[in-house]
Structure 1
C-alpha cells in the first residue's frame, strides 16, 4: 500500500475545512501532485511563479490540453500557494495559453434519440430521458433529490448546478408516471436502508448543520441511488450514494452501438439534442439559455450555428448544376 504524503494531507485538510466538493478535492490534489513531479519532486515552498508558469506552459505546448483544463490546473496552484503555503503568487505573466478550438456539438436527430432510448432501460432510461427531455447535465441527473421533482408543476429543480447555480427546468408529461413508479421502488429501498442504519443521505456541510435530521428524511434521498452502500471517504459514514455517472455513460455508449448510430454520441449529446430540437420547434433562445443554465447567451448560440449549417441553412450550388439528371452510375 502506497504511503500517503503528509504534505498532500495538509492540502487535503485545507480543502475540506473550506467545504469544497469531493471532485474539486480530487482535481486539485491531482494537479498539485503533477506539478511537484514535473519539477523533480521539489517542495512547492521552494518554488514560485516562475515554476508555475513553466508547468502551465508545458500543459499547453507539450500536452495540448484544453483551456478549461489549463485553468483548472492554475486554480489548483493558486489555492496551494495562497491557502496552504500562504505565499500568494500574485500576477503570473508570460504563460502560453491553451488554444480554444470552436467545435460544433454532436446532435442526434429525433429518430436517433428514439432509437437510443429504445436500447436503454430502468434508471438508465430515466436519466437519459431527463437529459433529452429537460436538458440536464449528467451530474445534475444523478445528483437529483426526491424533493426536487415537482410532479404537480411539471418541474425539476436543479440545485447547485454548474457554477453553483440553481435553476428550474421542465419535466416532460411522458416521464411523470415512469418516475412515480421508480420512486415507489426507491422508497422501499430507503426504508430498508433506514432499518439497517444506512439511511442517511449525504448533505453539504452547511445544510447538515442547519438541518441535522434532514439526511434521514425521504425528500433528501437521491432519486437514482447506487446499487450498494459504501463508506463515505470523508465522514466514514456508511450510506447509499447516488448511481455512479460512469455506469450511465457506459450504458449510453452501449445503447448508441446497439442503435446503429455512427455519430460519436455520449450522455452530453442528449443535452445538445434537447437544445437544438427546442430551437427547431421555435423556442426563444433566452428560454433555451435558462433551461440549460448558461450564464451567457453566447454559449447557447452555438446551437443556432448547428441549425444554420444544416441542409436548410445553405442551398448547395450542385443542385442547379446537375439539374434533374442526377449522378452518373458508379462501379
Structure 2
C-alpha cells in the first residue's frame, strides 16, 4: 500500500507495526521536525532576527499563557502531532538553551520561522536555513549517542517520524529577489527540486519515515490580501497561490518516485486543499473570520507589529482561522490535523 499523501495513516500504522526481524513491537520513538514558522516552537528566540514572537500576545492560549516563541496564540502542528503520537503535548525547540539531554529523547523541532528551501531566504531573514538544520540534526544524534548509547541513537534515527515543512517564505518573499533569474514556474520547480534534495540528504543520515508538507495557499493569508488583494476586496493573491500549486504539482510525483527508489517510506502531505477549503468556507469548520487575523486589526500585524500595546486584538482567537496576518490559530491547526486524521482513518481500518 502506498502512503502518498497519507501522513496520519503512516503515523497510525507505524505505532501498531510489528518488527518481525526483532521480534518486538516497533513504535515511533520520537518526532523530528525541520522547516519554518509553522513548526517553530522557539528556535528564533535567541537569534538576531526581526522574526520573533516570544512576547505577548503570542502564546495567550498556550498552557500558562506563555509567549514561548511559537508563531500562534497557542500550540503549533509540531506540538499537536507529537501529542497524537503519544510522545508529549509540546515538542521542544532544539535551540532552547535550557534543554537537557533527556529532553531530546521524544524528539525536537529544528524549524526556524522565516526560513525556506532557498538558502537566500534564510539569509534575508537572518534565521536558520533548512540546510543548517541538518547540521544541527547531526549534533542532536551525537548528543543522543554520547548520553544514551549507539542503540538508542540508531532506534531514533531509523524509527522516528521526520516531517519537513517549508516553501511559504520562499514563494511569498524571496521570489521577488530571484525574478531576474527565474520566472514563477521555474522558481516553483527549483524549490521542489530543493525539497527533494533535502529529503535525499536526510535519508543519507538514516531517516526512513519522511513526510514532506505541500505548500499552503499562501496567497490567502491576511498579509497577502492586504498588500495585493485590493484595498476594498482584499482578495487572495492568485499568482502566489498558482506558484504554490505549481510547487505542489512538481513535489508530489517527485516524492513518489523517491519513495520507490529509496528504502523506507517517503510521502507527500497535502494540506493545501484542506486549508484553502477552510478559508473559503470558514463556517463549515466552525470559524467566523477567515480574511483577517485575531492580533490587532489582523491585516498587517506579524512579529513585533503583533504586540500587547495593540488594543484591537480579538478576545476569542478560536473564532479566527489566522492568529496574526500570516499564521493560523491553534484551533485552525487542530482542525487541519483532525480533518486529515478523519479523512484517512478508513484507509487504515
TM-score tier (shorter): under 0.3
More strand by share: 2
Superposition TM-score, scaled by structure 2 size: 0.26
